[in-house]
Amino acid sequence: MALTAYHSGQEDASFTIVRDDGFEQTVRAKVFFDDTKFPALETCALDLCRGQVLDVGAAAGRHSLELHRRGLDVWSLDILPETQPIMSQRGVPHPLVGDILSWAERSFDTVLMLMNGIGMVGTPQRLDEFLRHAHRLVSPGGQLLCDSIDVSMTTAPIHVAHRTRNFELGLYPGQQRFAARCDGVTGETFDWLHIDVASLTRHCSANGWDCQLIQQQADGHYLARIFRVT
């Protein structure tokens, strides 16, 4: 709803992410359209892209358009059907609709999952399932580029409290559960995963991948490069 509204000219369109502990964060739809500047981690990831690229969770195609301008052959996948016409109208060359956890129509040299994209796996168990599935998505010798957050590095009291609650419930510290709200309408609850580098590395090793830390910021946000080794 927010992306469609912004694309139709509503410049203040936004949605709110609501976590199951009451934490809320408003996100402006404009963020998903601005392809003129990128945060440092995203810029680094874009610089590492090579060959044929699959942009996962492409939304309005901001990363895809930048890669297209650089001359890369980029395909853009999002689970929301409403994003396909938006991407097409913005000049994204290959907009696709599908769920990355089951989609595997072809393989790519680079699979790009930015804006905490690896989090869409939802849980540590589903991360293993995705990494096994990703052997069908990444060509031999290919790579997967993703960013995530190490929640152990946060100092914000509400996030520390959420992390502590997860410990008490026997859940992974970065396990999250959200719903999105827009114009008074709240969507279905979904799982999201923020995973630390050491844990991501262990999951990768167990499923035929080699994980390399590229950059990490003081707030725990980091970029990882995952290589196919089997």
151/191 Cα distance (integer angstroms): 16
**Per-residue pLDDT for 230 more than 80?**
no
- The model's pTM is 0.96
When the candidates are 3.40.50.150, 3.40.50.1980, 3.40.50.1860, 3.40.1010.10, the CATH number that belongs to 37-174+192-228 is 3.40.50.150
Q: pLDDT tens digit string along 108-164?
A: 999 999 999 999 999 999 999 999 999 999 999 999 999 999 999 999 999 999 999
Closest CA relative to residue 131, chosen from 121, 117, 139, 141: 121
Write down how long the chain is: 230
Please report, for the chain, the start and end positions of each structural domain, with discontinuous segments joined by +.
37-174+192-228
The owner of tokens 């990355």 is 100
38/120 Cα distance (integer angstroms): 21
Query: Which ranges of 146-196 would DSSP assign to H, the alpha helix?
Result: 157-169
Sign for the pseudo-dihedral over CA of 14, 17, 18, 23: negative
The whole-number average pLDDT for the span 66-88 is 98
**Per-residue pLDDT for 174 more than 90?**
yes
The whole-number average pLDDT for the span 155-176 is 96
182/160 Cα distance (integer angstroms): 27
The owner of tokens 């993703």 is 146
Percent share of the chain, pLDDT over 70:
100
What pLDDT score does 229 carry?
Answer: 86
